[in-house]
Chains A and B, each alone.
Chain A
Amino acid sequence: MARKISIRQALNEALDQEMARDPTVFVMGEDIVGGMGGDGDKDAWGGVLGVTKGLYAKYGDRLLDTPLSESAYIGAAVGAAACGMRPVAELMFIDFMGVCFDEIFNQAAKFKYMFGGKAETPVVIRTMIGGGFRAAAQHSQVLTPLFTHIPGLKVVVPSNAYDAKGLLIQSIRDNDPVIFCEHKNLYGHESDVPQESYTIPFGEANVVREGKHVTIVTYGMMVHRALDAAALLAKDKVECEVIDLRTLSPIDWDTVLESVENTGRLVCVDEAHPRCSIASDVSAKVSQEAFKALKAGIQMVTAPHTPVPFSPALEDLYLPSAEKIASAARKTMAN
């Protein structure tokens, strides 16, 4: 495992290997080829942040540049999935998902249930989430809780390149609709990634750091902020256990509860807004199931209940920082 690649490369490799393995896999989205389609250099762009670069040259018409109509092509992807294909649709920003809620919430998420298990919808919708990119209020949100609310959808948020490849391959092979969320500030993040294909099962959190005093539960870019906070706290001899949920639906309650039973303290970190968030969800579950293990009140560190500001200074304040996470952890240690 000597090879380090970025999340961007890991996603590209996952798509490449699955397209080579399974002829029913195809990719569609806005600008994923590079405009009008064509030979050679025409695919130089490979999507707004270059994830699909080079695939058009290999797989040609199995990459479809779509019109700027999310409801149309997400609907097409859902329909193709119901008919036996395995489409991977790239919906540039999760912020644009609203225009195709019916296709996702009422169609893709309901087929298996409403047809008594006879219909399957193996569609993957890849989309970018997150702030810190100076992209303003309509291109910076973390709307993951909207999708975890819907039964029938799976929601995946990798925080590193190893997980990105294994989770995307699992998403493509999975027979249910998957909302695959990529943090736009993490595409360059590198880690050791095997060349071979592999899958990471859904519903298995990753304990990225072990510790006995405080449990920090989070996902996506906040995993890295939580690790920074844990490093700060280690200087004061406070040992944090950092849990990367990896998949939000299904969610690995066992790992969270086991950890809190050991530490007795919980900090939930979420880049989404605080109300009805992953942080509030985890807090509620731990209160219900592990109340007796808690030695202090649960802390949440989230973005505020406001749109993401465009001002860089304000956006930096808006996002949960390592210092805020460390300070929340110290509050749980106070009593």
Chain B
Amino acid sequence: MSEKRIIPIVMPKWGLSMEEGKVTSWLMKDGDQVKVGDQILEVETDKIAGAVEASDAGILRRRIGQADTIYPIKTLIGVVADADVPDSDIDEFVSSYVVPAAEEGEDETGPRYDFIDTAAGRLRYIKRGTADNIVLLIHGFGGDLDNWLFNADAFAEKATVYALDLPGHGQSTKTLGDPTVAGLARAVLGFMDAVKVDKAHLVGHSLGGAIAIEIARTNKNRVKSLNLISTAGLGPDINMDFIGGFVAAASRRDLKPVLENLFADGSLVSRQMVDDLLKYKRLDGVGDALAALKDGVFAGGQQATNLSAALKSSGVPALVIWGAQDKIIPVQHAKAAAGAKVEIIEGAGHMVQMEQAGKINSLIKAMVGG
């Protein structure tokens, strides 16, 4: 009877810095039928709140994690099993559960991020997974590779995932040779050369989406597919109050209301999220880099580069995802994505990949295969 399936639900690890999370509430109750991808409970970290989704189907048999309680990552917080698994087996499973040891490379003292010298300067990146199929994640204006907190590990189940900090962002060089979509596209191609990636599925968010289309325009042989989330490059409109406010804000008080525009649910902007962005903005060179990008990419208060024709003519398979409540780039721009599969996500603003991570992960996983 050892074949009976008992599936642990554990405190997830969202991103490199997460060490513990708080169970905020259970969305299902004992005995509920669970399908793959169902949201089972909500967890809050010091960075953001999110839902834990089912990786396997079954019946929710035990809710172990208590609401408003903090657990270290990988702690057993629930059990899913088939209906015919006896309670005694589940008791046995719970009482004998051992939190797995840290995997190689997870060591707290070991390197969490990598750096590589490219034509555009020194860039920070992460690499997850070992498959031949490669997925490259490109963040947007003012973002960094942690914007893929809820996505990178999901994609890495069946692919090798790279996520980089663009020049001027995160912990990459703060020097921007050419602060335009074309210049950043050349920087990303240089990164692909440096890490010896010939061809990849590109996943781009916002400005990162425009960069991905530009790469497909100039080097379509290096692009397997385009996965564009709330992408720039498909129309002129851009919320310049957000861009200007983001560049100018120097304090938590100024930055927080600006960041709230990124989400359908502004309460997702945590103190830690604001602090992390302030820490980035205080670095020498960041102010100049962001101002140069604002003038280069959004010259004259609108998007300087329209790539909708290039998207169509590239012939590269494309998926366009948009948050229905996007306050930064209007969802109407999705109409300009001729030939692409378009998905509009309710309950999400501009940061769709954070706010509705589960949906985005399954849409993109279907696109990039494995």
Which residues in A have some Cβ–Cβ distance to B below 8 Å? 1-2, 162, 166, 194, 196-201, 204, 207, 210, 254-255
Contact = CB atoms under 8 A, between A and B. Distances in A.
Contacts of A200: 282
Nearest to B113: A2
Interface stretch (B20-28, B245-253, B293-301, B326-334): B245-253
Interface in B262-296: 271, 279, 282-285
Given A1-B279, A2-B113, A207 B271 contact: yes
Interface residues of B, number: 17
B112 interface: yes
Contact of B284 (A196, A201, A254, A255): A196
Given A2-B112, A196-B283, A210 B271 contact: yes
Contacts of A166: 282
Interface string B214-257: 00000000000000000000000000000000000011110000
B111 interface: yes
B176 to A, nearest CB: 15
A2 B111 contact: yes
Contacts of B305: none
B113 A198 contact: no
Given A1-B279, A196-B284, A201 B251 contact: yes
B250 A198 contact: no
A198 B112 contact: no
- Report which residue of B111, B171, B250, B279 has the largest number of chain A beta carbons within 10 angstroms of its beta carbon: B279
Contacts of B250: 201
Contacts of A197: 283-284
A199 B358 CA distance: 38
* Centre residue among B253, B282, B285 by max chain A CB count within 10 A: B282
Given A196-B284, A210-B271, A204 B252 contact: yes
A146 B206 CA distance: 52
A200 B252 CA distance: 12
A198 B271 contact: no
B174 to A, nearest CB: 8
Interface of B: 16-17, 111-113, 171, 174, 250-253, 271, 279, 282-285
A99 B171 CA distance: 45
Contacts of A254: 253
A198 B283 contact: yes
A194 B283 CA distance: 9
A1 B284 CA distance: 15
A198 B253 contact: no
Contacts of B271: 207, 210
A196 B286 CA distance: 11
Shortest 3 CB-CB contacts between residues of A and residues of B? A198-B282, A197-B284, A198-B283
27 contacts: A1-B17, A1-B279, A2-B16, A2-B111, A2-B112, A2-B113, A162-B279, A194-B279, A194-B283, A196-B171, A196-B283, A196-B284, A196-B285, A197-B283, A197-B284, A198-B279, A198-B282, A198-B284, A199-B282, A199-B284, A201-B250, A201-B251, A204-B251, A204-B252, A207-B271, A210-B271, A255-B253
Contacts of A1: 17, 171, 279
B278 to A, nearest CB: 9
Contacts of B171: 1, 194, 196
Most buried by B among A162, A196, A200: A196
Most chain B C-beta atoms within 10 Å of own C-beta, residue among A2, A197, A207, A255: A2
Contacts of A201: 250-251
Given A201-B251, A210-B271, 20 more contacts: A1-B17, A2-B111, A2-B112, A2-B113, A194-B171, A194-B279, A194-B283, A196-B171, A196-B174, A196-B284, A196-B285, A197-B283, A197-B284, A198-B284, A199-B282, A199-B284, A200-B282, A201-B250, A207-B252, A255-B253
A197 B287 CA distance: 13
A194 B250 CA distance: 18
A224 to B, nearest CB: 18
Nearest to A197: B284
B63 to A, nearest CB: 23
Nearest to B275: A206
Contacts of B279: 1, 162, 194, 198
Contacts of B283: 194, 196-198
Nearest to A193: B279
Nearest to B253: A254
Nearest to B16: A2
A199 B283 CA distance: 7
A209 to B, nearest CB: 9
A204 B249 CA distance: 13
B17 to A, nearest CB: 8
Q: By CB atoms of chain A within 10 A, which of B16, B111, B113, B252 has the most?
A: B252
Contacts of B282: 166, 198-200
Contacts of A204: 251-252
Nearest to A2: B112
A44 to B, nearest CB: 27
Contacts of A198: 279, 282-284
A192 to B, nearest CB: 9
Contacts of B284: 196-199
Contacts of B112: 2
A196 B250 CA distance: 18
A166 B275 CA distance: 14
A198 B275 CA distance: 14
A133 to B, nearest CB: 30
A207 B278 CA distance: 13
Contacts of B174: 196
Nearest to A254: B253
A2 B108 CA distance: 9
A108 to B, nearest CB: 27
A204 B274 CA distance: 14
A204 B282 CA distance: 13
A200 B113 CA distance: 25
A254 B251 CA distance: 12
A162 B280 CA distance: 12
